[in-house]
Structure formats: structure tokens, C-alpha cells
Amino acid sequence: MNKNTHEQISRKTKEIENDIINIRRHLHMYPELPGEEKETSRFVAEKLAALGMEVKTDVGGYGVVGILKGAKPGATLAWRADMDACAIKEETDIPYKSKIDGVMHACGHDAHTAIGLGIARVLSSLRDDISGTIKFIFQPFEEGSKGAQRMIDEGVLDNPRPSAIYGLHQGSLGANQSYMEAGELSIIYGTALYGWDRFTVDIKVKRERFNAWAEQEIFLNKLSKVNRCINQHGTKDSDNLVELQILKKEGNDETGEIHIKALFRYAMQQYRDDIRQELEKIINEYAAQPNVEVKVNYEDSLPPVYNDEKQCKEAEMILKKLIGDSVIPIHEVPIHGSDDFSRFQNDVSGLFFFLGSADLERGIKACNHTPTFDMDERCLAFGVKAMSSFLFEMLECRKSD
């Protein structure tokens, strides 16, 4: 490792720390819903253009791409940051609270965008020392899980194609649901966030004295057996998760119809296929009754965010040299949400990190997607410094590829 380079990264990050905080606060005051990120997109594009980058806009909606070419030849890596906000009314008393009624950066995408712009600014100042290219992807519509695929469909991973993609999510929860404070970064080995499949089941029953409610409960009881499906591919307890959620149910005594909308979460993509087979078995067994018709339709699916163990080990080794004990390896994943970063991982390899943002002493610990969510802004500069150094080193490691 070039100690001098990482000292430069540290100094540059310190120099721009207030700018990073101000960018995050500006974005926090003017949040935009998924698919409506017009002003955020314009703001990001202007910042990247000012750094002398090649900039593309309106990729997969309001997506923005900035390409930083180092002075030396090498590999191409990508960094992804999501930009959209949530339909939540903010209930904090911070001076930079949302000015848009009913819309709030309750998931910290304002921080992700500010960190992405900070990394771009730091590494742009080291252009002459960089071996290769970094493609900065600022994604719209993460909430709702549509943005990543739309960007991929419009060629975001082409010209140049990265050999790996990286990103992070800030938050206050770490391993085993404990709090993760600003100044900490975790790598979750294996499943980092769960995948899900959403499907509908339409049932038609021809039977005298048909009771739609009772039939519905009988069917749902049978369906719940899928929660006991065993993961043949997993190695840890969290790999075995199957969580069936009933999103909507309705029945009609007169027509003999039942309509179910459901979702199941899972830990590994191979496991998803086993769960579908188990559901098919359960549903076919029910449909084998006389005068029963069943139609199943899978509407949407989001893969799990999955961090390859070999890549995790490489990243952990590098980050321990860069930030010491501030990097925390996690081998058991907390049961929480999903992220369409997984769609990028399905196309190219890469890792998704988790950045602590709590400050228990100051009472900053509200979870993401809550109206009182806030963060310890010290996490911003820490994230910029750690990830700028990490990306630089990953390019150095790939010089001979």
C-alpha cells in the first residue's frame, strides 16, 4: 500500500468534510420520491461535471453516471449510490428537515449520494495516481426496486464494463440487531439482505354452500407449510429463512372465487427455486380436489444481496490495513430489508457494505424508514475516506488482471 496516497485521501476528505455534510443537508431538505428525482439528478450531474468527468444523464429514468479515468491503464470498477426518498412525513426538529410535505430521506439515500459525490471528488484529485477507471452510478427508484434494472436495461454496465461494483448502506443497526455507530463499517459474509418473490393465487371453486372465508383460511394454512422448507444450499441459520407474507386476501361466496396476493423472502437465489417448487407442490395438491381451479402468477422478484466469501476476505484484509478495527466482519445477518443493488450483483461481481450512523450518547438511533430517522453526520467523512482508499487499492490489486 502506498502510505502517501492514503494520507492524501485522508487530508482531502478532511478538507471537504463540511461540503459533504452540506450536500447531505441540502438533499435532505429537498427529497424526491422514487422516479421523480429530477432536481437531485441535475444537482449530482453538475457536481460530477465540475470535476471534469464524462457525465451521462437520464439513464433508466433520472439516473446519472460519472466516469473517472485515471492517468494510468487498469481495470474498471463501479460505485453505486441511490438517490430517492420515502413517502414519510418527517418528525424531527433538525434545522435542515424536509421542506417537502410527506416526503423524507428516511432511508439515508441523501447520505449515500453525498458520500458518492465525496468519493468522486477525493479520487478526482488523485487522477494522476489512479490505475484504471471508476464508474460512479447514481441510481433513482431504489425504493420500489425498479431503478437498478432500468439502468442495466439502458446499458449502465457497458462502455466501459466494470469488473466489480461496490456500494454501501448506512444505518444504525449492526450484527445481531445491536447498534452500529458512526466510525464503523461492516462486511456481511454471504447473504447481506434478503430477496423476495411476489405472486398471486386465483382460486375458483364450484361447490354448494361455498364459504369463501373458510376456504381461504384452509388454503392459507396449507400455504404456510412453505415456511418449513429446508435450504439445501445454506451454511448458516439465517440461510434457512422463508418468510411468507400475505399482502392481500379476498373471497366471494357468490362466485366461488378467492384471490390471494403474497410475498416470500429468502436468503439465496438457489433457495428461491426450491421454495417455488415447494409452493407448486402445495398448490397442486390443493388443486387436485374436484371442481377446484387454481392459477398462480409470479409478478416480481428481487434477488438477495449476496457477498461472495472470497471477495469478503479480500476486502476485509484491505480494509483492516486501512481503518483497523473499525471494520467489522459479520457472519450472521440481521433479519431486515432488501436492496436492488442485488440486480447489479447479478450482472457483475461486487460487495455491499454497511456504514454505522448511530450515536447512542446523543440519542441518534432511530431506524431507517421511521419519521424520526437521523444520523451522526460524522459517518459521512468516514465513509468517503474508507471507500476512497478501498477503491484505490482495489484498482491497484487489479493492475495485472
C-alpha span between 51 and 286 (Å, rounded): 61
pLDDT class of 331 with cuts at 50, 70, 90 = confident
Cell numbers for 165: 461494483
Mean pLDDT throughout 344-368?
94
pLDDT above 90: residue 42: yes
Task: Output the pTM of the full model.
Answer: 0.95
Q: At residue 94, does pLDDT exceed 80?
A: yes
Q: What is the pLDDT of the chain when averaged over all its residues? A: 95
The predicted-structure confidence for 72-90, as pLDDT tens digits, reads as follows 999 999 999 999 999 999 9
pLDDT of 264 reads 96
Q: What is the pLDDT of residues 171-213, one digit of tens each?
A: 876 655 678 899 999 999 999 999 999 999 999 999 988 999 9
pLDDT of residue 393 exceeding 70, the answer is yes
Taking residues 315-325, report their average pLDDT. 97
Percent with pLDDT over 70 in the chain: 97
* Pick from 328, 375, 352: nearest CA to 20: 375
What is the C-alpha to C-alpha distance for residues 17 and 10, in angstroms, rounded to an integer?
A: 10
User: Tell me, what's the pLDDT at 175?
Assistant: 58
Parallel, antiparallel, or unpaired for β 164-171 and 72-82? Answer: parallel
The pLDDT of residue 1 is 85
Q: What is the pLDDT of residue 225?
A: 96
Which residue, among 50, 42, 45, has the nearest Cα to 16 in the 3D structure? 50
Per-residue confidence (pLDDT) for residue 235, from 0 to 100 = 86
Q: Are 181 and 88 in contact (CB under 8 A)?
A: no
Query: Mind listing the pLDDT tens digit for each residue in 250-285?
Result: 999 999 999 999 999 999 999 999 999 999 999 999
Polymer length of the chain: 401
What is the per-residue pLDDT across 126-179, written as a single tens digit (0 to 9) for each? Answer: 999 999 999 999 999 999 999 999 999 999 999 999 999 999 999 876 655 678
In order of their start, the domains of the chain are: 3-192+304-397 (3.40.630.10), 195-302 (3.30.70.360)
